[in-house]
Amino acid sequence: MKSNSSRKIGLAVAQMGPVNLADSRAAVVRRLVEMLREAAGRKADFVVFPELALTTFFPRYWMDEGEIVERFFERSMPNPEVQPLFDAARELSIGFYLGYAELTPAGRRFNTSILVDRHARIIGKYRKIHLPGHSDHKTEAPFQHLEKKYFEVGDLGFGVWDIDDVKVGMCLCNDRRWPETYRVMSLQSAELIVLGYNTPSKNIHWNEPTHLRTFHHEIVMQASAYQNAVWIGAAGKCGHEDGFHMIGGSMIVAPSGEIVARSSGEEDEVIAARIDLDLGTTFRDHVFNFARHRSPEHYRLIVERVGAGDPLPAAVLE
């Protein structure tokens, strides 16, 4: 990422419309390259692509693991099918974030994202930690959410990388709903958090009104950007994938909590903003001056408990 002025960069979010089961990797990568070129034309230094950007959102299908691996997982990155994206990034001198399904040489499966710099070098990797859904076959449900079947919980933690003097953290989809995600990265001085998502507009567990799916998507990122004094760039894959609908609403959120750019449709769409990283510094120096105001001795339960338990013994009042 390079900037003309010291603390401003061009950030683009490349939302994707549907990727259907029949779509080839080559066709998907052509779409990504086209959006990368558009972002570069709009003076972006960095582009955010969605979660599992190279394939349809396959955790909605109950399939044999062997078939899933064969059809949807990447054994290496970049591989020949994805190489054109890396070549275009190097040519245009633009960095990117990309989500994909990773198969390790040892046969482990992760829902993964990478940070790629403007020389097309992979400088960071994240493996999704908050895996939603289930691992059993819900035969009554209209579709599945089998992330717990197809992926292991990520083993790399929430990292932050220095990419051309900007501290960038990353996560994936459901992670954006958890306050710990952002706080662990903001405690590493993250200035920009990037993420991709696939959010079905229907909840398979209860009859959730569709508008709440978008409302919660917005509220968690707006509140988290503010509470952690970070910029957030979030790219969705959306629209009807083989008839299964996912929400759009890709956005760039400022450390003030304000949405500064937002997609308008459910197709491939590039949104962009020139973001001032010093805006985050302003919040970090004052209301969210962590060193000055945080009291971790009172936050111990956050790391000691997973689920909610009994209240702590009441303090003795004097």
206 vs 315 by CB, closer to ligand CDV:
206
- Residues annotated as catalytic are 51, 128, 173
For position 71 contacting ligand CDV by CB under 6 A, the verdict is: no
Q: Does 198 bind ligand CDV (CB under 6 A)?
A: yes
CB of 276 to ligand CDV, least distance (A): 29
239-278 positions binding ligand CDV, by CB under 6 A: none
Q: How far is the CB of 197 from ligand CDV (least distance, A)?
A: 5
Query: If binding means CB under 6 A, how many residues of this protein chain bind ligand CDV?
Result: 10
**75 within 8 A of 103, measured Cβ to Cβ:** yes
**Residue 173 touching ligand CDV (CB under 6 A):** yes
- Verify binding: residue 61, ligand CDV, rule CB under 6 A: no
The residues pairing with 122 across neighbouring beta strands, listed in sequence order, are 116
> Which among 274, 252, 277 has a CA at the least distance from the CA of 263?
252
Strand 46-48 to strand 95-103: parallel, antiparallel, or no bridges (unpaired)?
parallel
Please enumerate in sequence order all residues whose Cβ is within 8 A of that of 297, keeping only pairs 6 or more positions apart, or say none. Answer: none
Q: Is 170 in the site for ligand CDV (CB under 6 A)?
A: no
Told to check if 84 binds ligand CDV by CB under 6 A, we report no
Contacts of ligand CDV in 1-60 (CB under 6 A): 51
Q: Is residue 237 close enough to count as binding ligand CDV by CB under 6 A? A: no
3-state secondary structure of 6: coil
The stretch among 15-23, 185-193, 197-205, 253-261 that binds ligand CDV (CB under 6 A) is 197-205
Judge whether 190 and 168 are in contact, CB under 8 Å.
Answer: yes
- Quote the CA–CA distance of 250 and 257 in Å, as a whole number: 15
The 124-153 site mask, x for binding ligand CDV (CB under 6 A), equals --------xx-----------x--------
Sheet containing 46-48, strands listed edge to edge, beginning at the edge strand earlier in sequence: 122-127, 109-116, 95-103, 46-48, 8-15, 269-276
| Interface residue with ligand CDV, options 55, 199, 222, 228 (CB under 6 A) | 199
Q: Where are the alpha helices (DSSP H) in the chain?
A: 25-41, 65-72, 83-92, 147-150, 179-186, 210-228, 278-285, 290-293, 301-304
CB of 62 to ligand CDV, least distance (A): 16
- In angstroms, the Cα distances linking 45 to 96, 194, 234 are 9, 14, 16
Q: What is the binding site for ligand CDV (CB under 6 A)?
A: 51, 132-133, 145, 173-174, 177, 197-199
